[in-house]
Homo-oligomer: A and B are copies of this chain.
Amino acid sequence: MTAYSKFTAMVTDLYELTMAQVYFQRRMIEPAIFSLFIREYPPHRGYFVSAGLENALAFLESARFMSDDIQYLDSTGLFSRDFLNYLEKFRFTGNVAAIPEGELFFKDEPVLEVTAPIIESQLVETALVNIIHLHVILATKVSRCVHAARGRGIVDFSLRRTHGVDAGMAVARAGYIAGMSATSNVLAGKIYSIPVAGTMAHSFITSFDSEIDAFRAFADIFGDRTVLLIDTYDTLVGAEKAVTVARELKKEGRRLRGVRLDSGDMTALSRQVRELFCREGFPEVEIFASGGYDEFKIDRSIREGAEIDAFGVGTKMGVSADSPYADIAYKLVQFNGRPVMKLSSGKRTLVAPKQVFREERKGCLIKDTITLREESLAGRPLLKTVMQGGKAITPPERLKTIRDRFKTAFGKLPEGVRAIRDPRPYPVGISEQLEALQRRVRHSVIAKELGES
């Protein structure tokens, strides 16, 4: 598996470069530690799925400024020649600790921490935040759809409305981690070896003189892999034509795989279509449904008794429509051995490099504790060193391994925390040592910055 990523060092905010020039001119080469975490749950979320680490590490290993980049930066008139020379040789040489992909994490917990000379850890901020944020919100969104579907399949149909190709690739990869069955995204199928799915659109039906001609033309070529889209003109009339095609296939020793509904009252229609197929002797024909699904509509349709075997889930999942962003932050927590914090109202950052310990009881997650990195508490430490000296210390994990890790972790999460509406908060504590340090740093910052002036 290869990370699909076109992030270069130029995927950055201008201020990373202006700050870097100051660090450079003042020879501030001491190690800085930055912590990447999410401050708050978006509405209806009670957990996050770690994802995107492979893409992040691939970016860190490959981040460079090319000569035409340097030329452009020079043209802005902001940068000195010696700083541009530095950028031309820029490599990320730092260390990264992170919570592995597929693992769950909670608000305030560092999903990733970077230790590197401040100029390096600063220059990679924008891309790192972008990568982890996108994968995490999408993996989390897809996990909610999969959970709501209670074992029925979720197929990703979102590519046409994701925010660009990066996002389409991220939905497919992060979504596969989070348990979806397949994607319509052909490039993702190729790059990530994810199962691909899809058969026909309304345009296919209308391009033929009649609906049944279109059905027959498709079945003729794809046989047992045929799924007929039956709502172009009228779903129930379409279903009867599908029965005709199922009979024709049967005579040839083949079978119709399924039908797809894409409009109307799909709960009612799915039951009528199921009844028709059962009555006509085709109980095994699968019913797929697409059109505006997300975790909420999936949940409702199942509770109402829809006869749907798998959901094609598109736009609302692919853009995480109910909550298309999370309040993710990448904050300096220690510089040259000195723990640091800002005081800006309403935005707490936990100082110093950290670890998270997770406790289970009887196969159920019960509590996390955020600690200083060097502490050792009960439970399993989640952050692992994944990069040293700018090199990933292990090859990328197989997607299957990550998917299995997610499945195991999610299976241990209490149902109240997994709920797709108003989840119960998962208990996350802070160790005494971290609390004490947090207080000390806060007092000294207040004394120094607000006492003086």
Residues of chain A from 174 to 217 with CB closer than 8 A to chain B in the complex: 184-187, 189-190, 196-207, 210-211, 217
Tell me whether A95 is interfacial, beta carbon within 8 Å: no
Contact in complex: B170, A221 (CB < 8 Å): no
Tell me whether A415 is interfacial, beta carbon within 8 Å: no
Contact in complex: A342, B206 (CB < 8 Å): yes
Q: Complex formed: what's the CA distance from A381 to B88 in Å? A: 50
Contact in complex: B130, A164 (CB < 8 Å): yes
| CB-CB under 8 A for A6 and B6, given A184-B13, A203-B122, A345-B264 | yes
Chain B proximity mask over A258-284: 1 for CB below 8 Å, otherwise 0: 000011100000000000000000000
| CB-CB under 8 A for A344 and B166, given A222-B78, A448-B210 | no
Q: Across the interface, which residues of B come within 8 angstroms of A252, CB to CB? A: none
| CB-CB under 8 A for A28 and B344, given A15-B198, A184-B13 | no
Contact in complex: A331, B203 (CB < 8 Å): yes
Q: Complex formed: what's the CA distance from A202 to B349 in Å? A: 12
Q: Across the interface, which residues of B come within 8 angstroms of A18, CB to CB? A: 198-200, 218, 222
Tell me whether A12 is interfacial, beta carbon within 8 Å: yes
| CB-CB under 8 A for A163 and B160, given A449-B233, A449-B237 | no
Q: Complex formed: what's the CA distance from A154 to B133 in Å? A: 24
Name which residue of chain B comes closest to A125, CB basis.
B160
Q: Complex formed: what's the CA distance from A450 to B236 in Å? A: 10
Name which residue of chain B comes closest to A14, CB basis.
B198
Tell me whether A430 is interfacial, beta carbon within 8 Å: no
Q: Across the interface, which residues of B come within 8 angstroms of A126, CB to CB? A: 159-160
Residues of chain A from 8 to 38 with CB closer than 8 A to chain B in the complex: 8, 10-19, 21-23, 25-26, 28, 32, 34
Q: Complex formed: what's the CA distance from A217 to B186 in Å? A: 51
Tell me whether A57 is interfacial, beta carbon within 8 Å: no
Q: Across the interface, which residues of B come within 8 angstroms of A412, CB to CB? A: none
Q: Across the interface, which residues of B come within 8 angstroms of A331, CB to CB? A: 202-203
Tell me whether A404 is interfacial, beta carbon within 8 Å: no
Tell me whether A165 is interfacial, beta carbon within 8 Å: yes
Q: Complex formed: what's the CA distance from A157 to B34 in Å? A: 20
Q: Across the interface, which residues of B come within 8 angstroms of A85, CB to CB? A: none
Contact in complex: B343, A162 (CB < 8 Å): no
Tell me whether A161 is interfacial, beta carbon within 8 Å: yes
Contact in complex: A204, B13 (CB < 8 Å): no
Residues of chain A from 60 to 108 with CB closer than 8 A to chain B in the complex: 68-69, 72-73, 76, 78
The residue from B22, B76, B190, B221 contacting A204, defined by CB atoms under 8 A apart? B22
State how many angstroms separate the Cβ of A47 from the closest Cβ of chain B: 20
Q: Complex formed: what's the CA distance from A271 to B312 in Å? A: 52
Residues of chain A from 332 to 358 with CB closer than 8 A to chain B in the complex: 332, 335, 340-347
| CB-CB under 8 A for A165 and B6, given A160-B125, A262-B344 | yes
Tell me whether A328 is interfacial, beta carbon within 8 Å: yes
19 contacts between A and B (CB under 8 A): A6-B6, A10-B190, A12-B187, A13-B157, A13-B184, A14-B197, A14-B198, A19-B199, A69-B190, A78-B225, A129-B160, A129-B161, A130-B160, A167-B167, A207-B332, A232-B343, A237-B449, A263-B346, A264-B345
- Identify 9 new A-B residue pairs, CB closer than 8 A, beyond the known A18-B198, A130-B165, A133-B160: A10-B187, A11-B185, A19-B203, A72-B190, A205-B342, A206-B340, A207-B335, A233-B449, A241-B453
When A and B form their complex, which 3 residue pairs have the shortest distance between CB atoms, in order from nearest? A164-B166, A14-B198, A15-B198
